[in-house]
Amino acid sequence: MIRHFWLLILVTFFSFFFIQSMVYGSELRENERITNNHLLPCSSEVACVVSWQEESQFYIAPISYHITRNQAKEILLKVLTVVPRTKVIEIKDNYILAESKGKFLGGIYEVEFYFPPNLSVIELRSASRSSKFDLGVNRRRLEQIRLALKDLNI
């Protein structure tokens, strides 16, 4: 009896996340990714963190660097090659887009890095494509990348 109860709880939990994924799914068009020299702010429709809305619950600090922009970008690209279930999708002069797949539920997360002009920082954004709940995965992923970059002395 207790085993059936826990099975029901587990099925309900995963069904809820699956339904949320179906309801809140969206993809961004390329021209909407950077506005006013910043990455897009987070919407309340999907799980997200971003580095330029300091007063927001979605805030995560940008990454500062003390080397050239090109060096920082190359090191970041090398770090992204070892982040589990992550692949780089797009590389521009001042922008990198990667996709990460969730470990358990298989959700897809867009991970963005923007190098604003005349600043030695990397703006960060990680957003679920399809779910309002991520259990902190977006923030943890970016903090792991930050730590890797710090270890590499950028």
From 9-23, 41-55, 90-104, the region with the lowest mean pLDDT? 9-23
| Inter-residue long-range contacts of 37-46, CB under 8 Å, 24+ positions, other chains counted | 37/116, 37/117, 38/114, 38/116, 38/123, 39/112, 39/114, 39/123, 39/124, 39/125, 40/125, 42/125, 42/127, 44/132, 45/132, 46/127, 46/128, 46/129, 46/130, 46/131, 46/132
Identify the band that residue 50 occupies on the pLDDT scale cut at 50, 70 and 90: very high
Q: How confident is the model over 90-144, as pLDDT tens digits?
A: 999 999 999 998 777 678 899 999 999 999 999 999 998 876 777 788 899 999 9
- Lookup result for tokens 């358990």: 104
pTM here is 0.76
- Beta-bridge mates of residue 87: 99
Q: What is the CATH number of the domain that holds 140?
A: 3.30.310
Domain hosting residue 13, numbered range: 2-151
Q: How confident is the model over 54-93, as pLDDT tens digits?
A: 777 889 999 999 999 999 999 999 999 999 999 999 999 9
Positive or negative, the CA dihedral 30, 32, 92, 51 is negative
Integer CA distances (angstroms), 126 to 10, 12, 59, 91, in order: 27, 27, 11, 16
Tally of domains in the chain: 1
Q: Which helix (H) or strand (E) holds 17?
A: helix 2-23
